[in-house]
Structure formats: C-alpha cells, structure tokens
Amino acid sequence: MNTRFNEIFSMSVLRAVCGFVFCLSWLVPCSAAEPQHRHASTVNRLLKKYCLDCHDVATADGEREFETFSLPLKSEQQLITADGVIDQVTLRKMPPEESVQPTDEERLALIGALRDSIQEARSQFESTGSRTIMRRLSNREYENTLATLFDRRVDTLGLTADFPKEETSQHMDNIGESLVTSGFLLDQYFQAASRLVEARLGKPEMKPKSWHFKDNFKQYEELSGAHRSVFKYRYLCLYEQPNTDTRQGGYGHIEDFLDGVPVSGLYDIQVQAQALHRDTHYDPKIFRIDFSEPFQLAVVTGDVKKGHIHYPQAIEPILASTVVPDDKPEWLKFRVWLEAGQTPRFIFPNGPYESRASVITLNKRYKDEFKNPETGVRRSALLREGELPHIRISEIKINGPLPEPGGSKEELAVFGKEGFQEAHALDQLYRFAKMAYRRPLNESDQQRIKTLYEKRLSEQAPPRQAALDTVKLILCSPSFLYLSEITPEEELELHPYDLASRLSYALWTAPPDAELFAAAASGQLKNKEELQKQIRRLLKDPRSDEFVNGFLDSWLNLRAMGDQPPPRRAAWEYYAKNLPESMKQEARLFFRSLLDENGSVEKFLDADYTFVDKKLAHLYQLPEKDKMRLKDGFQRVSLSGTKHRGGLLGMAGVLTVSANGVDTSPVTRGVYVLENLLGSPPPPPPDEVPAIEADVSGATTIRERLLKHSQDQTCYVCHRNIDPHGHALESFDPIGRWREKYPHPRGKGSGPKVDPTGKLPSGESFKDFESFKQVLLENRLDKFTHCLIEKLLTYSTGRQMERSDQYEIEDILKRVKAEDYGLETIVIEVMTSRIFRSR
C-alpha cells in the first residue's frame, strides 16, 4: 500500500466521520413562575443559621460563598459546591469547633436534602432525553462483528490490543456516552482494517509447505543448562501451567521456527508427545495438581516481535487442545489458524503449579534418592534419575497453508463464490458494504465506494488491490463502526433496519442474519408478533451465548474478574485451577437454564441447584467433588444438602468480584448487592473519609471496626443501609470459599469468628446467609426484578435509564409478575417495549 493511498484513505475516513457527527438540542419551555424546590427552605435555613457568618458574599471565607447558593442546582459549579458542603458537614469540619454546632437531626436533614438535589441535578445534566445517542461499536462488538462478517475468528490478530482502554458506565461497556471516539482511535481502526484485509485477503498465493523438527528444542533461562546436559536439546518439555509467576516450562516453542509461518492460513500440526511420571511416587501436594486427571496439551500463538517467546504474550488464544497419553509417545494432531509471522507454542493447562518451587522442594526432600543430589532449582538430577511429572515432545511436524476448497471464508464473504470479478467489482463491493453497514446502501454510500475504487485504479493499482483498499474504507466507515440510526431525527420509533440491528447486537453481539434482515426489509419486524418471533428465534440460536456472556459481564461485573486478584500464597488454587473461567461459566449456565426454561428469576435470589465442574465442586466442598472428572465439564448439581450455596450470592464469581482480592468488607459487598441486585446504589462517601484500617493484631472484627466508624450519625445514616447486606456475605472469603472464622492476619491459626447476622433498615432480621436470602426472596423480589429489567433495558439500548423511563419499567414489572417472573418473559417484554423500539 503506497503513501498516497494512506493519505487519501485517511482523509476519506476523517471526512466520513466528521460528516457523521451531529449534536442534539432540546427546546426547554419557559415558565412564568418556577415553583420553589422541595428542599429549598431546609437548605436555605440551615446555611443561613450556620454558614453565612463566614461564607456570605462579602466575606467568602476560604473562597466559599453560600449566600447566592440555591436549589435546584442549575450548574456543575453549584453541584460541586453542594458536594463540598456534604463533605465538610459529614466530617464535622464545619462549622468550626468554636461556633454553634447543628444538631444531628439538622446535619442529617442538610446532607439528605443536598444529596437528593445532587441526584436530581446529575440526572438532568446527564440526560439524553430518554434517547440512545449514536454510539460506536464497543471493542467486544467490533471484533465479534468482524468475525461474523468474515466467518472466521479474528482474535489471533489482536486487532483491539492497542486500542484505548474503554470506559464503562455502571459496569456496562456499550453505553453511547462512554464510547468516546478520538483521532488516535480512528488511526487504530485504519491500522486494524489494513492488517485484517492484507493478512486474510491480500496474502500471496502459496503452495503448502512442510516442516519437520526433531532436535534443537532449546529452552531458556533455568531450563537451558539441564536440557543441554541431560537431553542435548533432544526434547521439548513442559513442566508447569502457563499462568504462574516463575514461568519456567510453561511455554514450549520451536527454536528453529521463530520466524513463524509465512502467510496467514490453516496449518496441520502433528506432535509426538508423552505424559511422563503421572504416577510419580513424589508427594502430589508438592505439585498442587490432580494426578488422577490425564495431562492436557494445548496450542497457542507466539510471536517473537510481540514479546519474550518464553513468557505470556498479549495475543495468545488457545487454538486447539487434547489429552496426552501416558504409555508411550503418540502422534497428536491439531488443525489451527496462524497469522503470518506467528509460531505455534505448546502449553500444559493442567500442569504443576510453579515448577521452580516444586523442584526446590524435591531436591531437598528426596536428595537421598539421587547419586549426585542437587540443591535449589537445578533440574539435572531430577531429569536424569527422578520422576519429575512433565509432558515430553520429541518431534513436531507442520504443514500448510492448507487450501480451502471453493475459496477462503474471507474471499467468499467479500466477493462471493465466483471470486473477485473485475467487471463486477463495484457490485461485489456494494453487496459487501450492505452486509457491513447492516442496511441497504444509499446513493451517497455507493458514490463514496465508487470514488475510492476508481481513484485507486487511476493511481495504477491492480484492480483487486483497488477493491481491497475499498474494503478497508468500508471497514472504517461510520456506517460500519457506529450503530448509526437511519430513523429520521424527528421520529421516535426505530425504522425496521435500525430495530433489526439493535435486536441482533443485543442478543448476538453481531449484525442481523439473512432472516432478520428479510423481516426488516419487508417491514414485518415492526409488528409485535413478528418481533416476538424473531426474539425467540435469536434466543434459541447458540449465538445468543454472546448475550448471556456480555450481559452477565455487565450486570454482575464479571468482566472485572482478575482486576484485583488474591495473593498467590493465600489462594493458590485460584491460579492453579484457573478458577475465574469456571466461576464465570457457573453464572452463565445458570442464567442460560432460566432463560431456556423461562424459569422464575426468584432463583437468582435462592435456588436448590447450580452448575459446577470438578474445580468448583472442590471449592464448594460438594459431594460431587469425588466423582466428577475434568472431561465431564459442567453438570447441574443439587444443593439440597448444603446451606452454603444457592442463587447468585452463593456463586464464587459474584463473591470474588465483590471483594478486593486481599480481604472482604461488608461495605464493598453491601454496595455491590444494593447497586447490582436491588438497583438502589448508596451515595458515594465524602472524598476525605479515611479508609477503615485493618486490625493487624487480629483482635477485632470488621464488624467491630465498622460499628465504631458508624457511631457518627452522619456516617450511620448510610452504613445502616449498606452494611447489613454485606454482613450476611462475610461467611465467604475473597474467592467465595465458605468460612466460619476469619484468617489470622499474621497467618497464625484462626482469627475471630465470623458474625453473619444483621438487621435491614426496614426491620427484617437474619441470622445467617440462608436466612438473609429468604429475607430478599420474601421482601425484595419485586425490587430485584425491577433492577434486572432496568439493567436489561440499559444493556440492550446502549443508554442508562432515566426517570421518564420508570413508568414503563413499572408496567413491564406488572406484566412479568402476572407471568410468574419468567426470565424469557422478561427478555421478550424488554425487547418489545416502547423503550427498546425507540431512538
């Protein structure tokens, strides 16, 4: 691609984007006499009584002046002032000690009035007029759209790896106001489109080639010396799982294939491998793995230009995996997709945890078994004489790129079965653009495509290259990057093509398929019966797993899993067993089961079953832990014999993301419950309130420290609502393991006993986790369902719900109650609602 084309292309994209940006204005009618705000008299009276002596217009002590302050709040500066007053009054910094002090009742009245006013003002300032603003695809939607459009995974390219980190809004990653577009991001879109098109469609023709490797399996750092002296680099060995701190034997690469494959494509990989010493006589606790399970071998990508080949890299999706035999070396076969320059690397997903630590222990504990014992992390004696568990690879064969009969998937997606046809190039490009834009093309669309294609031809570009350059333009067009509504601004109800895209992105995170597109083209999609039919069809399709995954990541904030991981020493199984993925999958399967069965959402608050694999069965100490195998995957299990699980709040994933990794806090988990499950987030604490200090002596519990913190009435008014919702969850540690006592801060035995009792502000008491769930089920089911409806509307429309939306949410809730709170019923009601069908 030449420099001139880069300039033309970039200008075309920028013109298109600039031409697509618009502003919305609202005309606000004036009223002759504005009624007094409901809190105005309270705030004015208290500020005059306690503040104006020092903070009137004339004095303005500390550059703060309250004489002109009034409600309602009409500017961001007034909002900041109100926030400041709340901070000072809550912390009792104002009025000064020598001044007359307000009573606790007066403090609470002032704080409550200002908090209500701030919430009202923020709702007004942030309002979109109950409309979804034009929004771009999130990174998740962008990659999934490309994968759908080209019918091939694109995660091997890491297209969004260098994109700016996306902001979320209340954990949602698809809210229009948060999805900011910058000049840097536009350049990244251009680079991503160029990489994708050139790697997949612009690659040179190449006949399959074969490579065979059976020596020089060099491994680095601590492994190198032992492998040179014992094996002469004859074997490629894997000693540990890839997600450890030590990184010694977690990745096996091919030293003579560091340049990787020459072109992107499908490659057959054959590996002669054997699992050694799974029957080792060494203490299995040293390795922290289950030796009853066969060893697993998986293939991931590697690129020497992207980081150390011996260490984890940003782009390394698992391409294939299998079980390794114990008895003798066998040839294992994989067919994988590799991008140009990528080399296959081999990992041991269920391997020992931290090889370095196990080697040190073995050398010390079993030194008498070796002729020439070693100390520390040296491996020679262990490899020569010992029984160190590992996977040994002796030969590797690679063949490719493999031909795809009928043409590659990318070729079929862009040019169809006939392939590129110069005589019909524009028609082919128009057809592809229609799929990419998710709507019929207008004259302006066609003209833009035609102009760039002909421009490239005039610059002597070969016709096919001119077409590929035009495909890049299409992939950088606002009509592709944005969920652009063609519904006229003055109309409220979405036109069929816009409605089809909103529905398909809500349920599939992908463009409409042919049937949904046809329903939009016929206009039938605007009929409620047809819309319901399409919703049910999309939900039954496996692609709706994208909805389940994306919504749970947002609603329950499962996306944050791993942001604050626990210490490796305190929770090694979290890493050794890759528990985060199992934790997420439990919630996904539970949600899916309710969706498929139209089960009542009361099961989210308490249920007598859940879904676990062998790893979670062990974490939960369920009877199934002794019967399940890894190959069994996830199974539905009964919880009738335990009071420790059941519902979302008994799931390790929810309990992990509502902790901070190191410890737990009733405040953090209480806020999580109020925010994500009950839809009533508490106001933020004053900026200057200090964190509650840990008791390193282990003499007090978090409950005792919170009680002391909440003795001040201005703190108590919030904590009495927050803390009880968290106290019930203190029976779970930071990764969701059940506990009766807290750990001792210094690791010396057990700490204080956990007290899970509590009383909600509304008067209901509970004695433990189980009775707390019953309180929620009996008294908060409607509140929970209202919150779930609101979260589903937010996720599916791409905007936060506003006060004007609450009336329809209440109507949906009434209809849902009449249908026994069924989850499928809720989804259908949400996606046939006026809110969902409106701009």
Three-state DSSP class for residue 7:
helix
pLDDT at 39: 80
Per the structure block, which two tokens stand in for 136? 């771009």
> What is the distance between the alpha carbons of residues 355 and 226, in angstroms, rounded to a whole number?
14
800: closest CA among 175, 181, 179? 175
720 or 179: whose pLDDT is higher?
179
Amino acid identity at 508: W
Q: Which helix (H) or strand (E) holds 750?
A: strand 750-753
Task: Judge residue 543's burial from the number of C-beta atoms within 10 Å of its C-beta, 0-12 exposed, 13-18 middle, 19 or more buried.
Answer: middle
What are 344-359's pLDDT values in tens digits? 999 999 999 889 999 9
In 307-462, where does DSSP find H-type helix? Answer: 355-365, 380-385, 409-415, 425-437, 443-458
pLDDT at 130: 58
pLDDT at 712: 58
Residue 14 has pLDDT above 60, yes or no: no
Per the structure block, which two tokens stand in for 480? 């592709």
> What is the distance between the alpha carbons of residues 245 and 312, in angstroms, rounded to a whole number?
10
Residue 101 has pLDDT above 50, yes or no: yes
> What is the distance between the alpha carbons of residues 332 and 433, in angstroms, rounded to a whole number?
42
Beta carbons of 345 and 236 less than 8 angstroms apart: no
> What is the distance between the alpha carbons of residues 214 and 235, in angstroms, rounded to a whole number?
8
pLDDT at 553: 96
Q: What is the mean pLDDT of residues 49-63?
A: 70
DSSP E strand boundaries for 258-407: 265-276, 296-302, 318-323, 330-338, 343-347, 390-400
Per the structure block, which two tokens stand in for 140? 């998740």
Residue 285 has pLDDT above 60, yes or no: yes
Residue 590 has pLDDT above 90, yes or no: yes
The answer for residues whose C-beta is within 8 angstroms of residue 795's C-beta and 6 or more apart is 172, 174, 506, 550, 551, 554, 555
> What is the distance between the alpha carbons of residues 201 and 838, in angstroms, rounded to a whole number?
39
Q: What percent of the chain has pLDDT over 90?
A: 65
Residue 16 has pLDDT above 50, yes or no: no
Residue 427 has pLDDT above 60, yes or no: yes
pLDDT at 703: 67
694: closest CA among 746, 755, 734, 769? 746
Residue 306 has pLDDT above 60, yes or no: yes
Mean pLDDT score of the chain: 87
Q: What is the mean pLDDT of residues 431-460?
A: 96
> What is the distance between the alpha carbons of residues 238 and 334, in angstroms, rounded to a whole number?
18
pLDDT at 30: 40
- For 158, phi and psi rounded to 5 degrees? 60, 45
pLDDT at 353: 87
Beta carbons of 628 and 617 less than 8 angstroms apart: yes
What are 247-263's pLDDT values in tens digits? 788 999 999 999 999 99
pLDDT at 803: 83
Exposure on the CB side of residue 297, measured as CA atoms within 13 A:
29
Helix axes 3-20, 443-458, angle to 10 degrees: 170
Confidence category of residue 473, pLDDT binned at 50, 70, 90: very high
What are 776-829's pLDDT values in tens digits? 999 999 999 999 999 999 999 999 998 888 899 999 999 999 999 999 999 999
Residue 622 has pLDDT above 90, yes or no: yes
Q: What percent of the chain has pLDDT over 70?
A: 88
Per the structure block, which two tokens stand in for 67? 């004489």
Three-state DSSP class for residue 15:
helix
Residue 556 has pLDDT above 60, yes or no: yes
pLDDT at 25: 32
pLDDT at 362: 95
Q: What is the mean pLDDT of residues 332-340?
A: 97
533 or 488: whose pLDDT is higher?
533
| Dihedral sign, Cα of residue 106, residue 110, residue 113, residue 116 | negative
> What is the distance between the alpha carbons of residues 241 and 275, in angstroms, rounded to a whole number?
14
Sheet holding 318-323, edge to edge: 318-323, 296-302, 343-347
Exposure on the CB side of residue 789, measured as CA atoms within 13 A:
29
Residue 40 has pLDDT above 90, yes or no: no
Q: What is the mean pLDDT of residues 181-199?
A: 94
Q: What is the DSSP string of 647-699?
A: SGGGSHHHHHHTS-SS---HHHHHHHIIIIISS-PPPPPPTTPPPPPP-TTS-
What are 103-161's pLDDT values in tens digits? 877 777 777 777 777 777 766 655 555 566 788 999 999 999 999 999 999 999 999 99
pLDDT at 433: 97
Beta carbons of 425 and 463 less than 8 angstroms apart: yes
Residue 59 has pLDDT above 90, yes or no: no
Q: What is the mean pLDDT of residues 714-732?
A: 80
pLDDT at 31: 42
Confidence category of residue 23, pLDDT binned at 50, 70, 90: very low
329: closest CA among 392, 404, 277? 392
3-state secondary structure 40-89: HHHHHHHHHHHCHHHHCCCCCHHHCCCCCCCCCCCCHHHHHHHHHHHHHH
Confidence category of residue 694, pLDDT binned at 50, 70, 90: low
- For 76, phi and psi rounded to 5 degrees? -70, -30
Q: What is the DSSP string of 569-625?
A: TT-HHHHHTTHHHHHHHHHHHHHHHHHHHT-BGGGGT--SEEEE-HHHHHHHT-GGG
